[in-house]
A and B are shown apart, each in its own frame.
Chain A
Amino acid sequence: MADGKQYEQGNGQTESDQGAEDAIAQNLKRVFDQVASEPIPDQLQSLLDQLKSSGGK
């Protein structure tokens, strides 16, 4: 994919490393944001609802 080209095209060690660094940074964020933007699973959500409705104890 687009990211793959970064290290594929890097001829010199430095460019290649830079490409990999960028790809790492992008992938880290992508994986993290993907999970963070998922809907909360039902079981966890119902726990949270329970806690909230208990009105801060």
Chain B
Amino acid sequence: MAASTKLADELVTHVPNLRAFARSLVRDPSRADDLVQETVLKAWSNLERFEVGTNMRAWLFTILRNTFYSEFRKTRREVEDVDGQHAALVSEKPAHDGTLEMRDFERFFAVLPADQREALTLVGASGVSYEEAAEICGCAVGTIKSRVSRARLRLTEMMETGNLTDEEAEKFGHEVTLEEAMK
């Protein structure tokens, strides 16, 4: 079946982007990869439903996102309002070779609500248009725009004020306080 072999090959090429998108929803790398794995399996078993000629990346992002909200999140006991905070607090992996600023950014990003993280990642990093993002997230374009702008506003605030408490900063295991990092 040459056609579906082609589709399978195409699917594989999207995996790096899927991993990056997953990481914006699930901060822990191995759990994010579990989500990708589940997404790939689902996509694979529904490959015949994919309309050839349409955007496979958007299709895969949609599956990943639906999987995250419908199953993954529940089974992982991630709760809507606090999952960002939780993710940030439990995350103590050392930054790869990232700058301090980058680690700060990731922490700030992690405390945003999931709907804002995904909107921001989709349009701000993955190269998806507002229209595609709206389709992927099953909402209006205006909703994506407002999520993105709220996320940017909040991030800007956090970057300017570094408003995490000392206690939080301690839990992150960083020796340098955010105030110092901002100087």
- Pick the contact of B8: A17, A23, A35, A52 (CB < 8 A): A52
B1 within 8 A of A: yes
The stretch among B80-88, B119-127, B129-137 that forms the contact with chain A is: B119-127
Instruction: Tell me whether B126 and A32 are in contact (CB under 8 A).
Output: yes
Main secondary structure of the interface of A (DSSP, over half): helix
* Extra contacts besides A47-B41, A51-B44 (20): CB < 8 Å: A1-B99, A3-B101, A4-B181, A24-B159, A25-B124, A27-B102, A27-B105, A27-B109, A29-B124, A31-B24, A31-B105, A35-B23, A36-B17, A40-B16, A41-B33, A43-B33, A48-B40, A52-B8, A52-B12, A56-B7
Interface of A with B (CB < 8 Å)?
A: 1, 3-4, 7-8, 16-17, 20-21, 23-25, 27-38, 40-41, 43-44, 47-48, 51-52, 55-57
What are 7 A-to-B residue pairs whose CB atoms are below 8 Å? A20-B160, A21-B156, A31-B109, A32-B126, A56-B6, A56-B7, A56-B8
